[in-house]
Homo-oligomer: A and B are copies of this chain.
């Protein structure tokens, strides 16, 4: 399990798209992964989010799903599978400390991240 900072990846696409003002919609199509925005300056925060979720979600409960990764599915729903961020003057509108993280809860696996930008 890990949070992967994808801010630079998205920023690069937003800048090259040159849509001016609008939104960037991000979507994770996997059921044991998620997306979240949180502090990126201190890498300890992303590790603490993983540690915290592993304390919050019962990791050894006798769940029914036979693959054994029900805690990962629950974490996916707790974080959510999409994010929307405003674009102003071709730049993502993020707070000073905010970074965009892809949340891997059942890896390592090859994962996809969809995005779509649109003007408003």
**A contact set with B: CB distance below 8 Å:** 23, 25, 27-31, 36-39, 42, 44-45, 47-49, 51-53, 55-58, 61, 63-67, 70-71, 73-74, 76-86, 93-98, 112, 114, 116, 118, 120
Contacts and interface: CB of A to CB of B under 8 A. Distances in A.
Contacts of A25: 23, 84, 86
A84 B86 contact: no
Contacts of A74: 48-49, 52-53, 56
A48 B27 contact: no
Contacts of A70: 44-45, 48-49, 52
17 contacts: A27-B93, A30-B97, A31-B39, A31-B98, A36-B77, A39-B73, A42-B66, A51-B61, A51-B63, A51-B64, A52-B58, A52-B63, A56-B56, A82-B83, A82-B85, A86-B114, A95-B112
A100 B57 CA distance: 22
A32 to B, nearest CB: 8
Contacts of A53: 74
A42 B56 contact: no
Contact of A78 (B30, B65, B78): B78
